[in-house]
Amino acid sequence: MSPKKNLIEYLPVIGRKYRKREAINRVLKTPQTNIGVVNTHRVDPTNIGDFYCGPHHYFDELKGKSLDIFDYKREDKAVRDQWVKSIAENALIVGGGGLLNRPGFNLQMRLFERLADQGKKIVLWGVGHNAKSPSQYGKLGNYNIDVSKFGLVGTRDVGFAEHWVPCVSCMHPIFDEEAETKNEIGVIFHKKTLRDQNTVDKFKEFPSVANSDDFENVVQFIKETDTILTDSYHAMYWSMLLGKKVMVFPNSTKFYNFKYQPVIASFDDFRSKLGQVQSYSGLLEECREVNKDFAQKTFDYIGL
């Protein structure tokens, strides 16, 4: 490979690193205020779990007040400028989603930790750990930031903060609509798993859908299925909300430390564990009550 070609291939990576650091440093050099409020999380319509885990979707006080946590690295300088301005001027609601113990969010989360430690009003709402190393599955005991520095903290992982606050997507009215069960077992694949045809073939006898499908289609599939097998966190969560039996294939620590633990399996041994799956009743109502209570705490803290 020629030096010129090598440089060209690395330029986008170098550019992203520069943009990230530049945006972070600008925030740190800007006077901080709590004029309004903004809810920052991964606002990605192509990932329905990330998209619907933001409280701004469900509470009038937060409608229209969202900010993509990845905007700090965009090539468009106007987008980065707006990110810096929004972070500096507003009180922040960070979450939900697997924003902790994940390299892609380290810079932003450490920035928020530093700002919170300096007195900025920041709420962590429904965030959770998301480490990818299998050596940490079921063993992770600490977050990569000090959550005690934040003004108000609710995490979707039990025992990691003062408040357990499951993903706020439970507030969506779609979960109130019923449907007739048609499938005994169904599979919801993470979109990345679909690239592995050998894995997909192991489940060819079962109806399936991908977590990259429309939100309405995925939830409808869950409603029509008695037992869900999945490697998608939100497919697991939504299935449990709807009283379905669930088995998960972990690809991150995020599948551990939920208040109600589903059956853990691998793509190879799932058949031997099908008899262990169980459902939980009343989870939808519980999760909604917890989020409503945390919303009131948040609005009182921020002054909305």
Q: Residue 233 has what pLDDT?
A: 97
* Residue in 197, 273, 283, 208 with CA at minimum distance from that of residue 240: 283
Neighbours of 198 (CB within 10 A): 7
Q: Residue 13 has what pLDDT?
A: 59
Q: Is the dihedral of CA 173, 221, 125, 84 positive or negative?
A: negative
Q: Do 7 and 144 share a domain, yes or no? A: yes
Q: Residue 7 has what pLDDT?
A: 38
Q: How far apart, in whole angstroms, are the C-alpha atoms of residue 86 and residue 106? A: 19
Query: Which parts of the chain have pLDDT scores under 70?
Result: 1-14
CATH assignment at residue 206:
3.40.50
Neighbours of 152 (CB within 10 A): 21
> Residue 47 carries which side chain, given as an amino acid letter?
N
Q: How far apart, in whole angstroms, are the C-alpha atoms of residue 115 and residue 101? A: 19
* Residue in 186, 168, 277 with CA at minimum distance from that of residue 224: 186
What are 295's two structure tokens? 């919303």
pLDDT tens track for 58-78:
999 999 999 999 999 999 999
Q: Do 180 and 127 share a domain, yes or no? A: no
Q: Which domain holds residue 227?
A: 173-280
Q: Residue 11 has what pLDDT?
A: 47
Tally of domains within the chain: 2
Q: Do 49 and 142 share a domain, yes or no? A: yes
Q: Do 226 and 166 share a domain, yes or no? A: no
pLDDT tens track for 157-175:
999 999 999 999 999 999 9
* Residue in 246, 263, 212, 175 with CA at minimum distance from that of residue 49: 212
